Structures are given as C-alpha cells and as structure tokens.
Amino acid sequence: MAPTQEKLSVYPEPDKETYVVETTTELERQISKLRQTLQKYTGEAFRSVRSGVDSVVNVEHRVENRVSKLVSKDESLTPNGLYVGVATLASMVFTRYRAFPIRWFVPPAVFVVSIKYFLPKTSENLCEYYEQKEHHFAPEFSDARRSQWEKVQQHWYTGVDHLKMTGEKLRSWFSTGVQDVQKSTGLQISSLLPQEAKTLPEKVATPKDAGKKII
C-alpha cells in the first residue's frame, strides 16, 4: 500500500520560532570570575577601612571624654600644663649626663611634684583613675600597694608629729633659759631675738616648782 502523501496547505504557514542560545567562551568566563573576585576583595577592603576609621573615631571620642573628665574644670592647662612640661623637660636636660638612677628617677619625680603643685585637682583625678584601673586589672597588687602606702603615710605623719613636738619642746626650753638669764642678769636678751623666739611658755619654772613637771 502506497504511503499517504501530506497535502500542502493553501494558506501560508506561520514563521517558526527561533531560539538563540547564548554561549560564553572560556575567556569570557575567566574575565567574569576575575571581576567577581576583584569586587569581593574590594568590598571587603572598603568595609575593613570603614570599620578601622569608625574604631579610630570611637577611640578618639572615648579619649576626649576621658580627658575632659580627668582635667578639672577649675584648672587650666595653659599655662599650668606648660609649666609642668617645662619643669619635666628641664629635669631631663639637667640630669642627662648624671648617673643611671638619677637620670631615670628624677624626671618622673619632678613631673609628679610639678603636676601636684600646678594642677592639684587634675592630679587627684589621675590618681583616682589609676587606682580604679589597677584594682580592676590587678586587685591583689592594688591591695598590697595600698596597704604599704598606708603604712608609709602612718610612719610619715608620726615622724612629722614627733618633729613638731620636739620643736615645741626646744622652743619652750630655749624660752625658759632666756627668761632665767634675764632674771638672773637683768639683761633684755629677748629684744635681740626674732619675734618667734620671744614667745615664752605660759608657766616658767620657779624654785617652788622645781619638783613639778612643766609641760
């Protein structure tokens, strides 16, 4: 049996749809991969730089706030702070050719003394801030240091009190001696002495009070 032949249509057939399939070459793929890699690392670099800038700005703000809290509002850094710097630099210059202990310990001592003299309230704030940080990071060392410092202060004040008492006793004895010499000789020695040496004790020893203790 002969195959049936397809009859041709008398009407025009519609155009067939054409599909375009894009294909990339190896060079294009490598360039695209390189571009994506560059974009990735460039974005990370920009983010790192921005993060670093933000951290630096935050540190600056923290330092500024801390300095504003440490510096007393009643004191001015100019010229008092300038005096502290000049005194410290002068001590470094004068001890430049001295022995090792002098060269290393005199400038810090001059700095501490000068800042306590020119900026007393600021120096107190610095000491309090240091003690807070010391107690936070090294509590055992902080407690030991405070204990030793309290002992040193106690010995210092005790020594100062003894010196004052000794000075008062010496002045009392000297005034008593001057009074006795004036009574026995009639000479006005007290008129030749400074005003402080003229101060006599409230009670002077007499023959009747020889056995009594004079304070």
Q: How many CB atoms lie within 10 A of CB 122?
A: 20
Q: How confident is the model at residue 2 (pLDDT cuts 50, 70, 90)?
A: low
Q: Using the predicted structure, report yes or no on whether residue 210 has a pLDDT greater than 90.
A: no
Lookup result for tokens 């600021």: 122
pLDDT of 150 over the 70 cut: yes
pLDDT, residue 200, reads: 45
One-letter amino acid for residue 114 of the chain: S
CA distance 181 to 175: 10
Average pLDDT, integer, range 19-47: 88
The overall pTM is greater than 0.85: no
pLDDT attached to residue 4: 62
Please provide the average confidence, as pLDDT, over all residues in the chain: 83
pLDDT at 137 over 70: yes
- Span 89-117, pLDDT tens digits: 999 999 988 888 899 999 999 999 999 99
Tell me the C-alpha distance between 190 and 200, whole Å.
Answer: 10
Q: What mean pLDDT is predicted for residues 43-54?
A: 94
